Chain A
Amino acid sequence: RKEVEQDPGPFNVPEGATVAFNCTYSNSASQSFFWYRQDCRKEPKLLMSVYSSGNEDGRFTAQLNRASQYISLLIRDSKLSDSATYLCVVNRYNTDKLIFGTGTRLQVFP
């Protein structure tokens, strides 16, 4: 089983839609969680960190469920510019490795 698992998609949604991605992680020692965004043929860039209390940044909301070992990302009012691959990232404190999921591809259409 992969340490970080994501549905690869693609998720095809119209502009203005709300879309949610989930990510599960297998190691309960994981301490830090992030969502990165990767545009086609570009490098990954941090979208947001995920805190235990959940956090929101504009149209983006990230949540963490430690009991079930999953992380979610909600995008409201999707824009064409949101089309990208969203990578779930987990950091295990005892090894400090940043482990990436396969990524979920989002395509927003007009």
Chain B
Amino acid sequence: EAGVAQSPRYKIIEKRQSVAFWCNPISGHATLYWYQQILGQGPKLLIQFQNNGVVDDSQLPKDRFSAERLKGVDSTLKIQPAKLEDSAVYLCASSFDRVNTEAFFGQGTRLTVV
């Protein structure tokens, strides 16, 4: 079974530039998560989708971050404009449903903002 695919693996941009990350979840998984993990910290949930609807985006900095999940499958996360403090690993995860099921993570995108 193919896992969660993310791209790119690494990205270096200058502050105030924009960047986009892509995620393809495991086939059949209805729930998709985007997490931000800053070095030395646990993953912080940015946004959670159930199919193509947003379940929770309370911690998404909406002035600069946006995310969509077209047709309830692939998802993109965008940052515009980027700040230095956005340097982190952005992890995408998916699960079969919302409760009591394992979340599978992609390898993440390591973003460095200079």
A residues touching B (Cβ–Cβ < 8 Å)? 4, 6, 8, 31-32, 34, 42-46, 49, 87, 91, 93, 95-103
Contacts and interface: CB of A to CB of B under 8 A. Distances in A.
A68 to B, nearest CB: 21
Nearest to B105: A43
Contacts of B45: 97-100
Contacts of A6: 42
Interface string B17-33: 00000000000000101
B99 A91 contact: yes
B44 interface: yes
Tell me what chain A mostly uses at the interface: helix, strand, loop, or mixed.
strand
A100 B48 contact: no
Contacts of B105: 43-45
Nearest to A34: B102
Contacts of A44: 43, 91, 105
Contacts of A100: 35, 42-45
A75 B56 CA distance: 34
Interface residues of B, number: 24
Contact of B99 (A42, A46, A96): A96
A25 B56 CA distance: 20
Given A43-B106, A96-B99, 14 more contacts: A8-B40, A31-B99, A42-B107, A43-B108, A44-B91, A93-B99, A95-B56, A96-B48, A96-B55, A97-B45, A100-B44, A102-B41, A102-B42, A103-B41
Interface in B33-75: 33, 35, 40-45, 48, 50, 55-56
